[in-house]
Chains A and B, each alone.
Chain A
Amino acid sequence: MPEKLCIQNGHIVDPSQKLDGTGDIHIEDGKIVSVDITSAKSRAKAKLTSGGAHVFEAAGMYVVPGFIDMHVHLREPGFEHKETIETGTKAAVKGGFTSVCCMPNTSPVNDSDVVTGFILNRAAGTAVCRVFPIGSITKGQKGEELAEIGCMHDAGCVGFSDDGKTVMNSLIMRRALEYAKAFGTTMISHAEDVVLAEDGVMNEGAAAAYFGLRGSPAAAEEVIVARDIILAQMTGGKVHIAHVSTKGSVELIRRAKKDGVNITAETCPHYFTLTDMAVAGYNTAARVNPPLRSDEDVAAMKAGLADGTIDAIATDHAPHHRDDKLVEFDKALCGISGLETALALSLQLVRDGVLTMSQLIAALSCAPARILGLPVGTLAAGAPADVTVFDPKHIWTVDSQQLISKGRNTPFHGMTVQGLPVLTIVSGNIAYAL
């Protein structure tokens, strides 16, 4: 591995420093030394004096802070047939991600510092990017008693969630938000009133009526979003809404932010790319929770990202074995393998004029870093050298069988997309090169 690296002539965008211009990035000993966006002439001079660096030519490419996916499922421990920390992080770096936050619904559940320690240990040995564990809010994700939030925080958990399940007991959620204030940590809310969602297998609406499938209403999400806004306001705790999918949720969060509530939110590429019509043919690859929604909701995700109501783009990478998807639609497990398609799908927002490039890069890097307090997501001098270089023009067709992830469950199979990472650097080391 080169100790010194120079990525030259790329289009550098770093929202954390409001940088946007052509230039060079100098990396040494795993840290960013400098970002130089002065004239080509003066940069050439600077390179002469530095000397000895491995040079990567990035003309025509974007050079940005390494992406952070604040919502992935690495499935280890317990479900290594679906994904491991090794395969999941390999998929991450192929997708341009240099950090991933892994959800606690493993087996055993990450509800103690022992499991957190195991994950970090495995990551130290096998991961090719940074792994930040998310601990569960309640023991066994059962929603009944608080898990050891303090000890898990000390062991390295960067946030807490019962992801896949909602803490349905409002008193427990209140206590979690209050207790977490002692550690300055964030409660991540999987917002779904499971009683109201009943046995819905897709979004309730005209498409469900057409396909003859049971629907889960947008209200099932919005009821919990509203509750958690009220609890955050009451407790002063920090709440982050995971995988926002409905227009109503965006409106609630927008108003809460105006009211000064300590709330942040993420959405996923599938919620701003696909509608509930994607389940046509009872395609289990399009079964996901929350379900794909209507055109109106897709438009609301874009508007929410554009005006900052939604802070971050996360993938909710949920790899499954083919046996889990090659079944009746209502028996199929929910989830999309999303790490390797996220950038191309997100870049469509820039091409469509929904977001500026700087806004998009912020949603993929400095926003999640800010929400969870991670020491990454910036190209500032002295920061860890996590850098992603991508070709915005590269056109390719998604082939589920070509995914690095063990989970080949993608509804984007066969779709032609644009934009591909070509170089992913973690701590100054090349973790992935096309």
Chain B
Amino acid sequence: MRLKHLISMRDLTRVDIHQMLDTASSFKDVLKRDIKKVPALRGKTVVNLFYEPSTRTRTSFEIAEKRLSTDVVNFAVSSSSVTKGESLFDTIKNIEAYGVDFVVVRHSSTGVPNFIAEHMDVSVINAGDGINEHPTQALLDALTIREHKGSFEGLEVAIVGDIIHSRVARSNMIGLLTLGAKVRFVGPPTLLPPQAPPEINMYYSLEEGLKGVDVIIMLRIQMERMNKSFFPTTADYFSHWGLTNERLARAEKNAIVMHPGPMNRGIEIASDVADGPQNVILQQVTNGLAVRMSVLYHLSGGEHHA
């Protein structure tokens, strides 16, 4: 695997993804040790450039970076020159002048990681761009699924909720299809893509959409969607697309329930499911750390040697 950037799940082959996950599994062992730090990236500098508010993804990246012994700089957008009207181009040229090795970027505009990769000599990791992609989320979801299901071939995965605005859904779709899983989208027609790839089956009914699935990936429903008439009220949404135990019973018996967080209990997921035996949500969080260590390690030229 010779990768400089991780911008899209399309950057990775099936073999690449499995290698990333293998390395992540090794790092999980490191994370269980008393001393959790390894010197793999000592002397490297990472800038976390978050243009959108983020708690969990930013924290996860920062811990992963520190576990690998990199020097970490958090570029806090609200207190920076960006609020003084500096352009993205000037901001990244300034950061480049410091001589950093990695930029981890989250931005509300699709394509910003590509823009940085084009104009700046640095490895770029996409931590979420607009409605486009969030590849490390797809990798941590893949690791979680692999740990429970062993392989992806023929696995039925339902992604439920606000598909069109979800970079989690897009990166998962690309990654899971690459891995050989079958992917279906479930949600109200207003939140399903008008032009999905032909290999995706789409369901308006959650009851129908959950039949026979092995994995359920729930997406966060944002309140602003309601204000723009994608659905009438949260109550109307929950009564049709909220994941309850009754609906969960339609899926395979040992199906797992995933959520990228933060959750809206009582809107897209009922509390008894969120806290129930089939949820693997906190495991996703731990895996996120290991996967992000793996991505940084591979982009810096490391090879997996298990």
Interface residues of A (CB under 8 A from B): 204-206, 208-209, 211-215, 217, 281-282, 323, 326-331
Q: How far is the CA of A69 from the CA of B267 in the complex (A)?
A: 55
Taking a contact as CB atoms under 8 Å apart, the answer to whether A330 and B109 are in contact is yes
Residue of B with least CB distance to A207: B195
Chain B residues near A327: list those with CB within 8 A.
Answer: 87-89
CB distance from B162 to the nearest CB of A (A): 14
Assess whether B114 is in contact with A282, with CB atoms less than 8 Å apart.
yes
Q: Is the CB of A331 within 8 A of B109?
A: yes
B268: Cβ under 8 A from any A Cβ? no
User: B196 and A212: CB pair below 8 A?
Assistant: no
Chain B residues lying within 8 Å of A214, measured Cβ to Cβ, are: 110, 131
Question: Contact between B196 and A330 (Cβ–Cβ < 8 Å)?
Answer: no
B196 touches A209 (CB 8 A): yes
Contact B88 A330 (CB under 8 A): no
Interface size on B, residues (CB 8 A): 23
Taking a contact as CB atoms under 8 Å apart, the answer to whether A212 and B110 are in contact is yes
Kindly state the separation between the CA atoms of A211 and B129 in the bound complex, as whole angstroms.
11
Task: Give the distance to chain B from A400, nearest Cβ to Cβ, in Å.
Answer: 16
For B195, give its contact among A206, A326, A329 (CB under 8 Å).
A206
| Chain A proximity of B194: nearest CB distance (Å) | 7
Chain A CB within 8 A of B132 CB = yes
What is the bound-complex CA distance between A213 and B131, given in angstroms?
A: 7
- CB pair B195–A212 under 8 Å, yes or no, is no
**In the bound complex, what is the Cα–Cα distance between A326 and B196 (angstroms)?**
30
Indicate if the CB atoms of B109 and A212 lie closer than 8 Å. Answer: no
Number of A-B residue pairs with CB-CB distance less than 8 Å in the complex they form: 57
With known contacts A212-B132, A212-B167, A213-B132, A330–B110 Cβ distance under 8 A: yes
Beta-carbon contact of A329 and B193 below 8 Å: no
Asked if B87 and A211 make an inter-chain contact with CB atoms under 8 angstroms apart, the answer reads no
Q: Are B109 and A328 in contact (CB under 8 A)?
A: yes
The answer to whether B195 touches A282 (Cβ under 8 A) is no
Bound form: Cα–Cα A153–B100 in Å: 60
Q: Give the distance in Å from the alpha carbon of A209 to the alpha carbon of B193 in the complex.
A: 7
A212 to B163: give the CA distance in the assembly, Å: 11
Besides A212-B167, A217-B194, 5 other CB < 8 A contacts? A209-B194, A209-B195, A327-B88, A328-B112, A330-B109
Given A204-B194, A282-B114, A329-B110, is A213 in contact with B88 using a C-beta cutoff of 8 Å?
Answer: no
17 A-B pairs within 8 Å (CB atoms) are namely A209-B193, A209-B194, A209-B195, A209-B197, A212-B129, A212-B130, A213-B130, A213-B132, A214-B110, A282-B110, A282-B114, A326-B87, A327-B87, A328-B88, A328-B112, A329-B111, A329-B115
Shortest C-beta distance, A276 to chain B (Å), equals 11
> Which residues of B from 197 to 221 have beta carbons under 8 Å from A?
197
Give the chain A neighbours of B112 by CB distance below 8 A. 328
**Complex interface: chain A residues within 8 A of B132 (CB):** 211-213
**B133 contacts A212, C-beta separation under 8 Å:** yes
A330 vs chain B, min Cβ distance (A) = 5
Question: Quick one: closest B residue to A331, CB to CB?
Answer: B109
Which single member of A205, A212, A282 contacts B115 (CB below 8 Å)? A282
B265 within 8 A of A: no
Query: Residues of A contacting B111 with CB < 8 Å?
Result: 211, 213, 282, 328-329
Question: What is the chain A residue whose CB lies nearest that of B113?
Answer: A282
**Residues in A neighbouring B118, C-beta threshold 8 A:** 281
Known: A212-B130, A212-B132. A326 touches B110 (CB 8 A): no
Pick from A204, A205, A215, A282 the residue with the most CB of B within 10 Å.
A282
B172-194: contact bitstring with A at CB < 8 Å (1 yes, 0 no)?
Answer: 00000000000000000000011
Q: Identify the closest chain A residue to B171 (Cβ).
A: A212
> Which residues of B have CB within 8 Å of A282?
110-111, 114-115
Are B110 and A213 in touch, CB under 8 angstroms?
Answer: yes
Determine if A205 and B195 form an interchain contact, defined as CB atoms under 8 angstroms apart: yes
Contacts of B87 in A (CB 8 A): 323, 326-327
The smallest C-beta distance from A285 to any residue of chain B, in angstroms, reads 13
Cβ of A215: which chain B residues have Cβ within 8 Å of it?
Answer: 194
Q: Is B292 an interface residue (CB 8 A)?
A: no
In the assembly, what is the distance between CA of A330 and CA of B88, in Å? Answer: 13
Q: Is the CB of B250 closer than 8 A to any CB of chain A? A: no
